[in-house]
Amino acid sequence: MILKAIKRRLEGKDKSWIEHLLPILWSYHTTIHSSTGETPFKMVYGVDALNPAEIDPPSWRRATLTTTENSEALKENLDLLEE
């Protein structure tokens, strides 16, 4: 499985396989396997793996503005541009 993924990623590219190994291993460890119905990561640690993008704290703007407030701010900016 892992060897096939490395070969697939290297088709038509340079042969620096080591650069592709970590993303392939991450994919393998966070994909549900039909034999167990779980990911290897969850079987080892007891919890689902979090994508790094999921754990980044939200920006101040996203954390403090509601959708309505954001829409109003955008309209105000457009009004200022038109003046």
pLDDT in tens, 6-57: 788 777 777 777 787 888 888 899 999 999 999 999 999 999 988 777 767 7
What is this structure's pTM? Answer: 0.52
The span from the CA of 22 to the CA of 7, in Å, is: 14
Q: Residue 33 forms beta bridges with which residues?
A: 38
Distances (CA, A) of 44 to 47, 48, 69: 8, 10, 43
**Each residue of 55-72: pLDDT tens digit?**
677 777 777 778 888 888
> Which residue reads 């990911």 in tokens?
39
